[in-house]
């Protein structure tokens, strides 16, 4: 049975919205198709009239500095996101997460727009974008709006986008300043069931050996990608050392609860891994931030 009648490839946003208008509610946005086509083929979604592939639209394919922020187009393939020098300079956590998604084939066609659009609480790209304080630009026939990444999620697999009507154009993150650093890490089952057992991303700002600002994102720790606000507050104003890391692990257990999943891991194993990842992402971000401070003093 055919699962869609038309596969349309608009080359501009106005053309995409024309297609959307002519196919009404029976159309879906597709980028790399690594999630969506599987869902349609496995009949987790009803057949549709049209798939509108947004990867030929130039606005969705840019990576550039705009208004003091780094813009990353929603349709840039993941391997280009991870290989971008601008992303490596301003969002190390994002370069690291997109460099680990799937295998080379998935990264060659899969996109950040699709990773966020799929709305899973442990999407690797999404977790790092959250720690980097990303905002999304979302376009519809009525115009475009900016929305904080966390507001794009309603629940597991449910985004706040109007399905088939709104298109994520891209994401922007603040340019990384001296004294700031970020990192991403995850644990995956060896046989690699699409999503990780657990993932985590941190972003720190360090001045005079003290953390002046912190962001920590964890997945899957609830229905949507989660910021661990209690940890962020707890480590602020402090120096990262073994004693602080030990205390931070205790705080983590009070603010992040994991559940057992038959495909991936028990909650107990996730609790254990969370401590390992917490140490890893905080220490790496801390050292990167210090390194960039040292770089400034040597200039
Ligand atoms: C073998 C395999 C391994 C994988 N490994 C990982 C992994 O390690 N980590 C991980 O996080 N994910 C993984 N995934 C999931 C998936 O590949 C990624 O989430 C990928 O980023 C999805 O991007 P896509 O462009 O293929 O999305 P698509 O399949 O094209 O779209 C996914 C969803 O987003 C919507 N969408 C896509 N683009 C837009 C847009 N611009 N605007 C609005 N809505 C949009 C679609 O309508 C759909 O609902 C894996 C998948 C496979 C098949």
Name the percent of the chain lying above pLDDT 90.
84
Which residue among 174, 197, 231 closes a domain?
A: 174
At residue 296, the pLDDT reads 63
294 vs 136, higher pLDDT: 136
Statement: residue 1 has pLDDT above 60: no
What is the domain range of residue 268? 180-298
At residue 297, the pLDDT reads 62
Ligand 1 centroid vs 212 CA: distance in angstroms? Answer: 34
Give SS3 for 235: helix
Close Cβ partners of 224 (under 8 Å, ≥ 6 residues apart): 119, 121, 150, 153, 154, 155, 156
Provide the CATH number for the domain around residue 27.
3.30.43.10
Over residues 27-41, the pLDDT tens digits come to: 999 999 999 999 998
Over residues 153-198, the pLDDT tens digits come to: 999 999 999 877 899 999 999 999 999 999 999 999 876 667 899 9
Which residue among 174, 201, 219 closes a domain?
A: 174
At residue 219, the pLDDT reads 93
At residue 6, the pLDDT reads 95
Same domain, 153 and 66: yes
Ligand 1: does its nearest atom lie under 6 Å from the Cβ of 134? no
How many domains are there within the chain? Answer: 3
Over residues 50-106, the pLDDT tens digits come to: 999 999 999 999 999 999 999 999 999 999 999 999 999 999 999 999 999 999 999
Index of the ligand 1 atom closest to the CA of residue 159: 49
Ligand 1: does its nearest atom lie under 6 Å from the Cβ of 10? no
At residue 271, the pLDDT reads 93
Index of the ligand 1 atom closest to the CA of residue 37: 29
- Selection from 102, 133, 104, 113 nearest residue 196 by Cα: 102
pTM of the model: 0.96
Same domain, 170 and 184: no
At residue 189, the pLDDT reads 82
């Amino acid at each position: 049975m055919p699962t869609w009648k038309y596969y349309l490839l608009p080359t501009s946003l106005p053309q995409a919205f024309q297609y959307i208008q002519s196919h009404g509610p029976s159309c879906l946005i597709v980028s790399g198709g690594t999630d969506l086509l599987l869902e349609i083929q496995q009949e987790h979604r009803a057949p549709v009239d049209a798939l509108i592939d947004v990867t030929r639209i130039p606005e969705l394919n840019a990576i550039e500095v705009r208004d003091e922020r780094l813009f990353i187009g929603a349709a840039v393939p993941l391997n280009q996101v991870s290989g971008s020098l601008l992303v490596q300079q301003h969002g190390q956590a994002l370069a690291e997460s997109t460099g680990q998604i799937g295998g080379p084939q998935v990264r060659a066609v899969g996109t950040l727009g699709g990773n966020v659009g799929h709305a899973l609480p442990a999407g690797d790209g999404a977790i790092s974008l959250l720690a980097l304080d990303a905002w999304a630009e979302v376009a519809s026939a009525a115009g475009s709006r900016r929305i904080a990444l966390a507001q794009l999620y309603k629940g597991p697999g449910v985004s706040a986008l109007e399905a088939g009507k709104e298109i994520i154009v891209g994401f922007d993150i603040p340019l990384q300043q001296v004294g700031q650093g970020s990192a991403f890490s995850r644990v995956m089952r060896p046989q690699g069931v699409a999503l990780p057992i657990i993932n985590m991303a941190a972003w720190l700002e360090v001045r005079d050996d003290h953390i002046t600002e912190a962001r920590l994102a964890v997945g899957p720790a609830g229905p949507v990608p989660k910021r661990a606000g209690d940890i962020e507050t707890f480590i602020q104003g402090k120096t990262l050392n073994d004693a602080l890391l030990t205390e931070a692990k205790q705080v983590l257990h009070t603010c992040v609860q994991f559940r057992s999943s038959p495909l991936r891991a028990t909650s107990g194993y996730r609790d254990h891994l969370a401590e390992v990842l917490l140490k890893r992402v905080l220490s790496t971000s801390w050292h990167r931030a210090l390194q960039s401070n040292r770089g400034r003093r040597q200039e």
